[in-house]
A and B are shown apart, each in its own frame.
Chain A
Amino acid sequence: MTLDKQNVIPQQPTWEHFSHAADIGVRGFGNTPARAFEQAACALTAVISDLDSVQARHVVEIHCENPDPELLLVDWLNALVYEMAVRHMLFSRFQVRIDDQRLEASAWGETLDLSRHHPAVEIKGATLTELKLAQDADGRWTAQCVVDV
């Protein structure tokens, strides 16, 4: 069996954090808004814990709706903040489908385990600060906002 070169090159993370005076920004990239939303969600978890430490054991379904695509991003991240808070879970894998104003998503994760996840901070909510959903000249989408911790 020959190794497909594509498979051994580690995949570049397509999310990042950016600085805000008191808090932290989450930013996801993707070839569609839905992929960028998924990556922004990865960045959200990474504010709290090492993303790789969170196993995809259970799935939670999430729905939100907003006529404004940027506010839909805030709704999506806040839905995750809510699910994390009431279920005491962290999520590491996301599948987002966006149909017009509606977002349907699956989020996979597991129950918070202090000894493995070493959570740094709790997220209070996603804000409208530095909120942006935009496509660059290469067709790549960016989805970002600051989260309050």
Chain B
Amino acid sequence: MDLSKLEQLAQDTWRIEPSGTMRVPGILYANADLVRAMDTKVYEQTVNVAALPGIVKASYAMPDAHWGYGFPIGGVAAFDPDQGGVVSAGGVGFDISCGVRTLVTGLTRSDIETRRERLADALFAAIPAGLGSTGAIRLRGGEMDAMLSGGAKWAVSQGYGRQEDLHYTEEGGCMDGALPEEVSDQAKRRQLDEMGTLGSGNHYLEVQEVTEIHDTAAAQAFGLCASDIVVSIHCGSRGLGHQIGTEFLRSMAMAAHQYDIALPDRELACAPIRSPLGESYLGAMRAGINCALANRQILTHLARRTFESVLPQADLQVLYDVSHNTCKEEEHSVDDKPMRLFVHRKGATRALGPGHPDLPTAYRETGQPVLVGGSMGTASYILTGMPESEQRAFSSACHGAGRAMSRRKATKQWHGRQVIDELAARGILIRSQSFRGVAEEAPGAYKDVDAVVDSAESAGLARKVARLVPVICVKG
């Protein structure tokens, strides 16, 4: 991206002056190197989102932003229903409520050293991963709708996990306002054997070691010390969410003229929040959020069972579960006035600051854990929301390293076997059904996650708490 098109407001904050059809400015949070490396499409898409009806304050891009569908991935935008605000299926994405759940284990690196290979094999056997893998659960009769209404709460009621898990899951594990009847039979059919599966692409279950603590007080509140072993699960709403995204993107693209919305780009397809199509999408999308929450809850259960068999002294407790592909109705303060806004976070993580009423009591003073997944060879981070987060981008932060290279280029540059061997030599065990899948996700295909989180911290989006490095990665 050409820096000359931007006005620098602070070291990691850049502004795009409103012009043409833009209703609000664009704001990019990243250091100069990251912005320079961003595709021009990120600029175009940030500008396009700024032109949508009812957008409030600004169209934001996070430090890991890259070219997405209509919205940039790493895009944040809030809409006011009272000013004709819209909801966009592309602004949420195909993988509704894709997110990360991190579990502390009570183990340290030395506890797992002699069991690493066994644990990797046991996890790979227990966690359905990759294309064609199916879960053991089949939802019959009204069970599908009960899951879509109940989310992780439903999963716990079925025996997959503990009541306290819900306390450390966004929305208490159950998204209000889900309308299972707005989810098509096709979407439900696509989910029939996919409960408790990781999926593929950049999804994973990782065993990670805490290698650095950046904020001792927050780390203590999150139950983290150096050398601790944690488990992170990155996945979403599986086939059901993909089908909801597909169907509503189509409906919104075809209905745009009916709602008299001038789209700078057809893929920005959206509908007014207060319209039959908008309400139908919101109901279906919230059911998709519950599907993702239930899915990560079931995977938590499978991970616990596996640890019990290999390392019975482990006690897996949920640190937090947070999504990064959502649209949520939230209260925000705009010009010192409280407003109910519909906040799209497409590849962006909610980052509530200290004192927020939606936080579990244990995190009330620290702020919300922000779980940032890196690539399999580098690092992941746990950050925390800051008091400034609210003013920056409606309490939002980055969600990952962000891709630096296309899948096509990655497969030309690396072979999966070679990636696996090189990582094994560095003590990282990869388990995957596909060499090509591993090559596409090679660590070198991603941006520098350290630079991304440093920028997020410097911009005031979220503060670093702990750095995690992978020990075992079950690749989806």
Contact = CB atoms under 8 A, between A and B. Distances in A.
Interface of A: 17-24, 48, 66, 68, 71, 74-75, 78, 81-82, 85-86, 88, 112, 114, 118-122, 124-129, 131, 146, 148-149
Given A75-B250, A119-B433, A122-B200, A21 B406 contact: yes
A33 B14 CA distance: 44
Contacts of A122: 130-131, 199-201
B132 A88 contact: yes
Contacts, number: 124
B269 interface: yes
B67 A114 contact: no
B434 A119 contact: yes
Interface stretch (B20-28, B237-245, B271-279): B237-245
B190 to A, nearest CB: 5
A114 B133 CA distance: 10
Interface string B1-30: 000000000000000000000000000000
B217 interface: no
B266 A131 contact: yes
Contacts of A114: 130, 132, 433
Contact of A24 (B190, B199, B407): B407
A149 B69 CA distance: 12
Contacts of B94: 124-125, 127, 148
Interface of B: 39, 41, 66-70, 73, 90, 93-95, 130-132, 186, 189-190, 192, 199-201, 239, 242-243, 245-246, 249-250, 253-254, 266-267, 269, 403, 406-409, 433-437, 440
Nearest to A111: B132
A125 B66 contact: no
A119 B190 CA distance: 18
B262 to A, nearest CB: 16
A78 B247 CA distance: 9
A19 B68 contact: no
Contacts of A88: 132
B68 to A, nearest CB: 7
A20 B201 CA distance: 14
